[in-house]
């Protein structure tokens, strides 16, 4: 592992006025990236998928996370569980594509079978032909290995190391801030409300760009026409999350003035407020009175990130054919906004090859969210060293 200079980490953790940003190697060095996967992703909670991907009992979605094969499964009680996607017998991959299981999970190699709760149901011929029992094969000890998981705003989170604080504590302050949203039923908008961007950047630059409104008038002039820079505010919760909010959310999606229905029970604050927050490390969330979006950052390489975007609405009615055109326009609007950010995050990534760049100087007024995130990353490395 590349040695991380503690003086440099301390410089990142200084107050925003004097701090420097994370240095280049955090964006370009494969060794730092490998270390980051352990201390930032595996030892914390990280987002790996969406509940909408496993909509029914028996839905199974294989994912690779930090190089590990995992299986997201909706079990018989309509709960979501995450397992290591390997058979306890010979370590064979169990499920290699999204599947609607009709019964058990059957290993494609020797057909050991697991139920949807991960219990080992049968071990065919394990004691010889036609003999499915053997005293040394104790089924109760050989269920699928479960990974600690939690579902929050339809995002599926895992803690691979198993020793992070309970998710309710990890995300407690955000739950509190967004208490009017977090337990609402969410209705995913369907195929058109789901898209991905493949971006040549380190995942952290996508977070950093998302955490501040400073760039809005320059990069998103369309948004700035009704939501000016001075209508935004910073959101900073040290060691937890950061982002920004707007005071003037007022969507105009078509000439008829139609708007999506509103989440029930929201206070009047949300008539015009919308907030955009990164729950560290890799979930970019946006809440509005009429929809929520979630972006999962899949850090596939030190210089490549897949952004998975999903849009949810407040009522089932919004999924109807009458609303289809508006949903399409809405998703296109967000896609345009997120695509406008690509040249920025790719440009900053290329900029990290400038040898004398020193991590950058923050604006103490506009970059608080970004600094808060850098502080969190630096703290993860300090704790691990």
For tokens 């999606």, the residue is 253
201-228: b or e for each residue (b if 16 or more CB lie within 10 Å)?
bbbbbbbbbbbbbbebeebbeebeeebe
Q: Which is nearer to other proteins, 115 or 231 (CB)?
A: 115
- Please select the residue that binds other proteins; options are 68, 99, 132, 379, rule is CB under 8 A: 132
| CB 122, min distance to other proteins, A | 6
Q: Are 60 and 73 in contact, with CB atoms under 8 Å apart?
A: yes
Dihedral (CA of 72, 75, 80, 86) sign: negative
User: What CA–CA distance (Å, rounded) separates 275 from 285?
Assistant: 8
| CB 129, min distance to other proteins, A | 5
Q: Are 95 and 71 in contact, with CB atoms under 8 Å apart?
A: yes
Q: For residue 384, what are the contacts with CB-CB under 8 A and spacing of at least 6?
A: 35, 38, 39, 43
- Please select the residue that binds other proteins; options are 28, 68, 99, 122, rule is CB under 8 A: 122
| CB 112, min distance to other proteins, A | 9
| CB 139, min distance to other proteins, A | 8
| CB 90, min distance to other proteins, A | 16
Longest dimension (CA), the chain: 75
Strand, coil or helix: 100: strand
Q: Which is nearer to other proteins, 6 or 131 (CB)?
A: 131
Site for other proteins, residues 88 to 117, rule: CB under 8 A: 102-104, 106, 111, 113
Give the interface size with other proteins as a residue count (CB under 8 A): 15
Q: Which is nearer to other proteins, 40 or 60 (CB)?
A: 60
Q: Which stretch binds other proteins (CB under 8 A): 126-134, 150-158, 182-190, 332-340?
A: 126-134
Number of residues in the chain: 385
| CB 53, min distance to other proteins, A | 21
Q: Which is nearer to other proteins, 134 or 350 (CB)?
A: 134
Q: Are 261 and 314 in contact, with CB atoms under 8 Å apart?
A: yes
User: Which among 119, 22, 74, 32 is positioned nearest to 377, based on CA atoms?
Assistant: 22
Helix (H), strand (E) at residue 382: helix 368-384
- Please select the residue that binds other proteins; options are 10, 64, 125, 221, rule is CB under 8 A: 125
Q: Which is nearer to other proteins, 8 or 73 (CB)?
A: 73
- Please select the residue that binds other proteins; options are 131, 176, 250, 363, rule is CB under 8 A: 131
Q: Which is nearer to other proteins, 23 or 62 (CB)?
A: 62
What residues line the site for other proteins (CB under 8 A)?
102-104, 106, 111, 113, 121-122, 124-125, 129-133
């Amino acid at each position: 592992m590349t040695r991380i200079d503690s003086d440099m980490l301390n410089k990142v953790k200084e107050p925003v006025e004097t701090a420097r940003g994370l240095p280049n190697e955090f964006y370009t060095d494969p060794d730092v990236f490998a270390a980051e996967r352990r201390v930032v992703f595996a030892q914390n909670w990280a987002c790996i998928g969406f509940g909408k991907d496993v909509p029914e009992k028996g839905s199974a979605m294989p994912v690779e996370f930090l190089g590990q094969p995992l299986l997201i499964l909706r079990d018989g009680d309509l709960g979501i569980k995450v397992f290591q996607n390997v058979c306890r017998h010979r370590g064979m991959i169990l499920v290699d594509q999204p599947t609607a299981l009709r019964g058990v999970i059957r290993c494609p190699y020797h057909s050991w079978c697991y139920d949807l709760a991960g219990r080992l149901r049968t071990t065919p011929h394990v004691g010889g032909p036609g003999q499915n029992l053997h005293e040394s094969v104790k089924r109760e000890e050989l269920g699928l290995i479960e990974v600690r998981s939690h579902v929050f705003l339809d995002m599926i989170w895992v803690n691979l190391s198993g020793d992070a604080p309970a998710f309710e504590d990890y995300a407690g302050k955000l739950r509190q801030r967004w208490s009017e949203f977090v337990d609402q039923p969410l209705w995913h908008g369907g195929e058109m409300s789901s898209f991905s961007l493949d971006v040549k950047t380190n995942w952290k630059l996508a977070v950093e760009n998302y955490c501040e409104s400073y760039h809005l008038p320059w990069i998103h002039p369309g948004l700035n026409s009704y939501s000016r820079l001075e209508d935004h505010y910073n959101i900073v919760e040290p060691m937890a999350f950061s982002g920004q909010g707007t005071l003037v959310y007022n969507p105009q999606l078509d000439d008829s003035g139609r708007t999506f229905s509103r989440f029930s029970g929201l206070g009047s604050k949300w008539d015009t407020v919308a907030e955009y927050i990164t729950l560290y490390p890799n979930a970019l969330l946006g809440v509005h009175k009429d929809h929520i979006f979630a972006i999962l950052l899949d850090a596939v390489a030190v210089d490549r990130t897949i952004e998975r975007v999903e849009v949810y609405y407040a009522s089932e009615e919004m999924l109807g054919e009458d609303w289809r055109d508006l949903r399409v326009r809405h998703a296109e609007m967000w896609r345009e906004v997120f695509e406008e950010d690509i040249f920025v995050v790719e440009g900053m990534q290329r900029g990290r090859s400038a040898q004398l760049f020193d991590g950058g100087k923050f604006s103490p007024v506009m970059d608080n969210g970004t600094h808060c995130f850098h502080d969190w990353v630096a703290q993860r490395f300090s704790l691990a060293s």
